[in-house]
Amino acid sequence: MKITGRTTLYGIIADPIHHVKTPEMMNAIFAEMGHDGVMVPMHLRDADMPTFFEGIRTMQNLGGLIVTVPHKPRAMDFCDRIEGDAREIGAINTIRREADGTLVGVALDGRGFLGGLAEAGLTAKGQDTLLLGAGGAGAAVAFALAEAGVARLTIHNRSRDKAEDLAARIRARYPDVAIDTGAPQTAARDLIVNTTSLGLRQGDPLPLEDLAFRPGQVVAEAIMDPEVTPLLATAKAAGARIHFGKPMLANQLRLMIAHFLAQPSDATTPPSRTGD
Ligand code: ATR
């Protein structure tokens, strides 16, 4: 990668920042597609968000930002426009900075998850689905599942009130989808998606105590590392088909680039800016 005076700058904001893997992955894709851009980590503290966002509006060669923990919900407040269902989800993870400094935010986690499923030849449409977790990632995936047309969506979360709250928000946007916060009944489901953080750390318990699986159902993870979480190992041993967390990110990176490169008048089909 050669950085010149014409290179477009992109950032990923987080606190802490040292663990982020997105810059190396994103820069590899930029190089592959011949986009003259570079992504760098930006360690940003919550208290500095107003100053930071005021500053980046003036930074003429900044193409956009990826937003991650803990900034996803609040970053929305600094955008001029929010696209898609990010407002209902309550968080964004990608911002495009347009030439006049306009900041356009979008949430791509859920669409990334669906793209990963599709790549594996799987679909959420028509599936009896169980979502484990109702945090940030859970909300994004839940909206995407509802949009994809699941036959039924049960949301299970340690804090039941958060599951209820998420279910109500989805019902408001997708009144035709059957949504509940009832018993997980894992063995009865076609598709189970874990969006809790359980499995991330060694020694974590399973996201549910009472887990039963069956061949033919799909058990999917939002956790990327480790690749095989205890949940996936248990599901696989019981004959279920497992779906790793990595494709969700891989798909998101492509969607993020499409968002960065989209022109203000065209939110769906990004023209190539290769050679900028
Ligand atoms: P993210 O943005 O990665 O989704 P988050 O919003 O903090 O992170 O959500 C974490 C999810 O993991 C939540 O569903 C959380 O459950 P609560 O809403 O009850 O906190 C879930 N989670 C985290 N630790 C957990 C634990 N020890 N047992 C069960 N669920 C847990």
162 has catalytic annotation: no
Q: Does any ligand 1 atom lie closer than 6 A to the CB of residue 138?
A: yes
Q: What's the mean per-residue pLDDT of the chain?
A: 94
pLDDT of amino acid 219: 98
Average pLDDT over residues 233-253: 96
Indicate if the pLDDT at residue 83 is higher than 50.
Answer: yes
pLDDT tens for 164-221 read 999 999 999 999 999 999 999 999 999 999 999 999 999 999 999 889 999 999 999 9
Spatial separation of the C-alpha atoms in residues 213 and 219, rounded to whole Å? 9
Q: Which residue owns the Cα nearest ligand 1 atom 18?
A: 159
Is residue 133 within 6 Å of ligand 1 at its C-beta?
yes
The CB of 166 under 6 Å from ligand 1? The reply is no
27-64 pLDDT tens trace: 999 999 999 999 999 999 999 999 999 999 999 999 99
Cis peptide leading into 70, omega within 30 of 0?
yes
Q: Which of 2, 21, 72, 125 is catalytic?
A: 72
Atom of ligand 1 nearest to the CA of 133: 14
Q: Where are the beta strands (DSSP E) in the chain?
A: 8-14, 37-43, 62-67, 81-82, 94-97, 103-106, 128-132, 152-156, 178-180, 191-194, 218-221, 241-243
- Quote the ligand 1 centre to 138 CA distance (angstroms): 9
Residue-wise pLDDT for 122-165, tens only, equals 999 999 999 999 999 999 999 999 999 999 999 999 999 999 99
Determine contact, residues 226/103, Cβ cutoff 8 Å: no
